[in-house]
Amino acid sequence: MKVQENISLRPYNTFGIDAKARYFAKFKDIDELEELTTHGSRLTTLILGGGSNILFTKDYDGFVLKNDITGIEELHEDSEYVYVKAGAGENWHHFVLYCIERNWGGLENLSLIPGNVGASPMQNIGAYGVELDDVFNSLEAYHFHDKKLITFTKADCEFGYRDSVFKKKFRDQFVILTVTFQLRKKPIFHTSYGAIEPELERMGVKELSIKAISNAVINIRTSKLPDPKLIGNAGSFFKNPVVEIDKCQSLQSKFPGIIAYPVAGNRMKLAAGWLIDQCGPDKTGTSWRGFRKGDAGCYEKQALVLINYGNATGKEIYSLSEEILLSVKEKFGVILEREVNIF
């Protein structure tokens, strides 16, 4: 365990932003974490996982701690479920594939989401009709102030759409160390969302399996989203907005092509990518999709994704997101929220 000073965070965030941390260290277990938090007790602290949901707009004048807790353990099983614990530092997609290889169902629709296991409950990640809370059992987290380990149940986490208690009420108070998942021994297939069924047909799948669904999701995501190893990005930069049904009906009367899905509470979720596609950097009808200003841009295949072509600063990416938010608000009267955490 080594504490470093003035370290570039470029290798530790998928946007590839060259911000610096005043102090930086990695921890592999709770003992190292406790020692590091004592060392940096007077400094603001940022816990970094896979760096896939973060945008640095400036240097971090504090202590950045990289969570490298790994390990996968099958705890126990019952007639329906197997309970699997994973370290917060495990790569998310590798963990998903590990479970699929053992025919543990529930995670297949969440294949190829960037980041680490520890961020999954914090963000309540979701894709193709499945959210993290559908397979969540519990997690262990370390409280900075009280310096003790606390177990959170599903109810404790207060999951919402891309939201949890760790993003608001308990923001910056806990470090997630492990997450336990409740996975099905007899999988239930979810194929009706998005392009999964057409992709399965294109693949020529005759017998449905979680492996086939995972491969379909991987194909779809690969066709639409840039690889962070090749082009700096953090996946979807914006959340799909949820509006009241009367607001949705009003928009549908003005914009018949608008994409919307019913959600709980008699509300409707709008496709943020579609909204952004209908707007642009001017009023000539040009879409934001494919727009580039310097090294900051909007991905040509998916308007939800902002990208760094090489040497964009975090401020340039953030400024572009501001322009996009304003254009959507002016045209549709809808306020988009960023899914990415801004620092």
Round the CA-based radius of gyration of the chain to a whole number and report it: 21
E-assigned strands of the chain? 4-8, 20-27, 45-48, 54-55, 60-67, 72-77, 81-87, 126-127, 130-131, 136-143, 148-153, 174-184, 232-236, 242-244, 260-263, 267-270, 292-293, 296-298, 305-308, 341-342
Where residue 29 falls among pLDDT bands split at 50, 70, 90?
A: very high
Confirm if 304 and 238 have CB atoms less than 8 A apart: yes
C-alpha distances in angstroms, 216 versus 113, 185, 269? 13, 21, 24
What would the pLDDT profile of 94-136 be if each residue is shown by its tens digit? Answer: 999 999 999 999 999 999 999 999 999 998 999 998 999 999 9
Residue of 236, 289, 321, 338 with catalytic role: 236
Domain boundaries, the chain: 4-67, 72-224, 232-342
Residue of 162, 221, 289, 338 with catalytic role: 162
Q: Does the structure show a pLDDT above 60 at 40?
A: no
- The per-residue pLDDT for 284 is 58
What would the pLDDT profile of 294-326 be if each residue is shown by its tens digit? Answer: 999 999 999 999 999 999 999 999 999 999 999
Query: Residue 314: CB partners within 8 Å, gap ≥ 6?
Result: 15, 17, 19, 55, 56, 57, 58
232-342: which CATH number, 3.40.1410.10, 3.90.78.10, 3.40.50.720, 2.40.50.140? 3.90.78.10
The architecture CATH gives domain 72-224: 2-Layer Sandwich (3.30)
Residue 192 bears catalytic tag? no
The span from the CA of 59 to the CA of 53, in Å, is 17
Residue 236 bears catalytic tag? yes
Q: Does the structure show a pLDDT above 70 at 253?
A: yes
Residue of 108, 140, 316, 339 with catalytic role: 339
Confidence (pTM): 0.88
Residue 162 bears catalytic tag? yes
| Average pLDDT score, the chain | 93
4-67: which CATH number, 3.30.43.10, 1.10.533.10, 3.40.50.150, 1.20.1250.20? 3.30.43.10
